[in-house]
Amino acid sequence: MASQENNENQVENPHRLIQDRLEKMEELGQKVELYPYSYDRTHNSEQAREAEKDLVEAEGTIRFPGRIMAKRGTGKTLFIPISDEWGVLQAYFRKDELGEERFDQIKRLIDIGDWIGVEGTLFRTRTDELSVKVKDFTFLSKAIRPLPEKFHDMSLENKSRNRHLDLTMNLESRQRFKLRSTIISDIRSFFEEEDYLEVETPVLQSLYGGATARPFTTHHNALDMTLYLRIADELYLKRLVIGGLERVYEIAKDFRNEGMDRTHNPEFTMLECYAAYWDYQDMMDLTERMIRRLAQTFGNDGKLKYGELEMDFSQPFSRIRFMDALQEKTGKDLMTMSNDEVAQVAKSHGVALNKTMGRDKILDELFSELVEPELIQPTFVMDHPKELSPLAKSHRETEGLVERFELFVAGFELANSFSELNDPREQRARFMDQKALIEAGDDEAQPIDEEFLQAMEQGMPPTGGMGLGIDRLIMLLTDSNNIRDVLLFPHMRPLSDQS
């Protein structure tokens, strides 16, 4: 870690510290190559620790590169922790081993934050610290700007804005983002075992759809046309099912022009999967199998801690009906009520409404306010009102509902699924309902997609579909309270725009 004196100097006069390093750089450049092209590493820090016994017994030489994180020692010896992706390994420098000139370089000209490679043998110090007894070293890169002293204690905003410093200073951040990659890899393995084909669909679309959200808009100069960043990949994946690819999935970046909070970022990662001849019950079983497997692999025997909460994924997930849950909370049968009556119930429970909100939005807001926060254990919420789900198949038993589920854990939504609507006539009617909402001022309603309707008119088999928020899943599996903790580069307001 950088010294306290360095940190205070940086606060007082950062330009002087940078100038001092530039002067050291100029002097060092007369003696060594400042920016070599590569370095022949034999071990990273993890491999060195795993091979310690054999390396010490054989007095084997290792070559280990990384970033200098601190410097301490007496006149003729230096102890320098060197950090790489896997951890920290201490380097031990002696003047009588390196010679006066080389020792002077490491002591006087090389700073905390610089990158070096050390060559030597492993040993244990008197304090039992595994270290490299350095016989030689190679300068790899100069840090002109000093590392911050106390970045460990910085706010989430500063860590998100300066992810390179967060990863440099905080090993737990490095481990979390490496775990994210491992989790996504395991999800891919799961779908491969389930005989799904991974595919890619367009990010730039001439018409957005597949969800209720405002899109980001751009312009294609060569074609002189408006394009949208996708808000979902649903309508393209369904085209593939229509074309005969029976099981498809995509892990994709989606973009929604919406606000930011603990579980929302305008750019996020979604998993969507579709299977011919399945319905939402089949998708419910698939989702439960996948989540249980992940909890078993990355949790504690199927249990996960999330803040002060503990969820058990080893038991069958609870299943409740959307309207039943609302009736239990309000004491009202909202299915039989008019729009105005539903609005009055919402107002009585403190739900903020505006004139553009239709019955669907009001019910959704009411559910979010009264039911969602209490859904801590994994729970499938099933059978939503039709107006909430323009792409879902009508419920086979209950009029006015659709065959849909949402998976909630720890009080937030994790997944969403339908028995997919495959009657093009009904789909057109649902799109017309959405068009009416757009004309009434709802800028999140879905436009009519004629090309998708034409594809459906070629014949779409019975299909089950599911979408899952990867970022929220990673939050859950890594016990992260904010979506920014699991996104390497979350969207941030530019510093110049802040007051």
Residue 483: CB atoms within 10 Å: 21
Q: Could you tell me how far CA 330 lies from the centroid of its own chain?
A: 35
What are the structural domains of the chain?
4-149 (2.40.50.140), 169-317+377-492 (3.30.930.10)
Q: Which two tokens stand for residue 125?
A: 């110090």
Half-sphere exposure of 103 (CA within 13 A, CB side): 17
Q: What is the full DSSP assignment across 434-467?
A: HHHHHHTT-TTSPPP-HHHHHHHHT----EEEEE
Residue 359 has a pLDDT of 83
Query: Which pairs with CB-CB distance under 8 Å and at least 24 residues apart come from 173-180?
Result: 174/85, 176/478, 176/480, 176/485, 176/486, 177/486, 177/488, 178/85, 179/298, 179/474, 179/477, 179/478, 180/474, 180/478, 180/486
- Residue 483's pLDDT is 96
- pLDDT value of residue 151: 61
CA distance 188 to 196: 9
* pLDDT value at residue 497: 62
3-class DSSP state of 119: strand
Query: What per-residue confidence (pLDDT) applies to 152?
Result: 60
Supply 93's token pair.
């420098």
Instruction: Report pLDDT for 331.
Output: 94
Residue type at position 311: M
Quickly list H helices, 271-423.
Answer: 280-298, 322-330, 339-348, 359-370
Which tokens belong to 212? Answer: 């209720």
CA dihedral 411, 413, 419, 424 (to 10 degrees): 140
Contact between 326 and 355 under an 8 Å Cβ cutoff? The reply is: no
**pTM for the model:** 0.90
CA atoms of 2 and 409, how far apart (whole Å): 41
Q: At what angle do helices 359-370 and 322-330 cross, to 10 degrees?
A: 70
Number of H helices and E strands in the chain, helices first, is 17, 18
DSSP state of 196: P
Report how far apart, in Å, the C-alpha atoms of 230 and of each of 14, 255, 260 are. 44, 6, 18
Task: Tell me the average confidence (pLDDT) per consecutive run of 10 residues in the chain, 499 residues long.
Answer: 43 80 96 96 98 95 97 93 97 97 96 97 96 98 89 78 93 96 98 98 93 93 96 96 98 95 96 98 98 97 96 97 95 90 92 83 92 97 88 91 97 96 92 85 86 96 98 97 96 75
DSSP character string of 24-91: HHHHHHTTS-SS-S----S--HHHHHHTHHHHHHHT-EEEEEEEE---B--SSEEEEEEEETTEEEEE
Q: Residue 270 in contact with residue 468, Cβ under 8 Å?
A: yes
Helix (H, G, I), strand (E, B) or coil at 413: strand
